[in-house]
Amino acid sequence: MTRNAWTRWPSPEALGRNGLSRPRRLMSWGIRVLVLGMLLWSVFNSKHVHGWGIVLAVAGIAVTGALAWGFWRTTLQHRLVPSLVLAVPLLGMAVLAQSAGFDGPALVLWCGCAISALERMPLGAALPIASVALASFAAVNNDVWLTTAATVTGMALAGYVLRLDAEARGSAQRLLAQERAARAAEAESAALAERTRIAREIHDVLAHSLSAQLVHLEAARLLIERGADRDRILERVVAARGMARDGLAETRQALSALRGEMTPLEDYLAELVRAADGAEVTITGERRPLPAEASQAVRRVAQEALTNARKHAPGAEVRVRLDYRAHEVTLDVRDSGGSPGELSEAGGGYGLLGMRERAELLGGSLRAGPGEEGFVVTLKVPT
């Protein structure tokens, strides 16, 4: 054995009662009641003890019980010196009982001390106590030597087996506690991830949309203060109203996505290009359901790219291509180019920067820049 094995205490979980089944608890209390009954029976049925001798014997049993309870508490707290201090009087009570003619209680105390020490104390301290107790038991036992040797060996093995059983129970309790802590941490992490996802959706849908509305409304206010003509003011108000309407529709889509009620990605892209004049969609590869975050990223990037094409190159042809690959999905949106429109200075619904951050969080990438004819946005998301 290693040095640590000789000095290591059984864990508090092993020494405590937590984790014991109800039958084992009942059996433990039954054994205690049986031992107490045997001790009292031996006192009251002893022919050589009368009067005050019986009172002293009962008092000795009470003192022994208190010492045993104290030994249980100090070993549970891993206090070596108090445990040794209490073990010695317990052995002394066995010697006193033997000298007073109570052979049965003495044998019970010696065996109990040996088993309890082996079960509840470090082996380096338990073996001397168990050796003294079992040697005393063997010295006063009247059986033949072979029976006595077998009894002593059985008692030592019983104490060590109880120790192993207690340590196994303690290990099981620690593993159960660790599993519960891991589950709690996992649940907290999942809740945090969901809150982060909701915050990202709210930011993507509302923050940029509202900021764009504020730009138009602030421009309308300045035009009113400067006495501009009615048409210019109305143009800004109508633009703000349109963005508010689009933001409301996008908010409803985001809430549906958070509830897991998203339409199939292919249907969403088809509906999106129908609303954009001069756009077409092509889908290649084996179609399959995507994770919610990946599907939402594809939707957001497609919507942002089409919005940018409508603002910066109105009337241009836009080709949307969704390609399902073995381990990723690729979205490619490119336009044929054109002159900037009147909404080119308005803020985007989400912004390609936010989309790039979303893609990188999923382990993907987003590239946006001039192509051979117009502007190209390419999103790659692992699946």
Q: What would you measure as the largest C-alpha separation in the chain, in angstroms?
A: 125
The domain ranges of the chain are 3-142, 264-383
Contact 115, 159 (CB under 8 A): yes
CA 116 to CA 71: how far, in whole Å? 9
Span 264-383: which CATH code? 3.30.565.10
| pLDDT band, very low/low/confident/very high, at 345 (cuts 50, 70, 90) | very low
**What tens digit of pLDDT does each residue of 131-141 get?**
888 888 888 77
The mean pLDDT value for 358-372 works out to 85
Could you give the CA distance from residue 361 to residue 350 in angstroms, rounded to a whole number? 16
Q: Comparing 13 with 50, which gets the higher pLDDT?
A: 13
Phi, psi (rounded to 5 degrees) for 313: -140, 65
Q: What's the whole-model pTM score? A: 0.48
Per mean pLDDT, which of 13-27, 45-59, 276-290, 342-356 is the most reliable? 276-290
Specify the DSSP class assigned to residue 262: P
pLDDT higher at 373 or 92: 92
Q: What is the mean pLDDT of the chain?
A: 79
Q: What is the DSSP letter of 148?
A: H
In angstroms, rounded to a whole number, what is the distance separating the alpha carbons of residues 37 and 52? 20
In this prediction, residue 314 carries a pLDDT of 75
State how far the Cα of 29 lies from the Cα of 288, in Å rounded to an integer.
62
Is residue 269 very low, low, confident or very high in pLDDT (cuts 50, 70, 90)?
Answer: confident
User: Tokens for 252?
Assistant: 């409803």
d(CA 69, CA 84): 14
Report d(CA 375, CA 369) in Å as an integer: 6
351 conformational bin, left if phi > 0, alpha if psi -120 to 50, beta if neither: left
More confident residue, 129 or 169: 129
Distance CA 11, CA 176 (A): 15
Residue 120 exposed, middle or buried by CB count within 10 Å (0-12, 13-18, 19+): buried
Cβ-contact 13, 19 below 8 angstroms = yes
Evaluate if residue 323 carries a pLDDT over 90. yes
Average pLDDT for 312-332: 87
Instruction: Determine the Cα–Cα distance for residues 271 and 220; give it in Å rounded to an integer.
Output: 33
Integer Rg of the chain from CA: 41
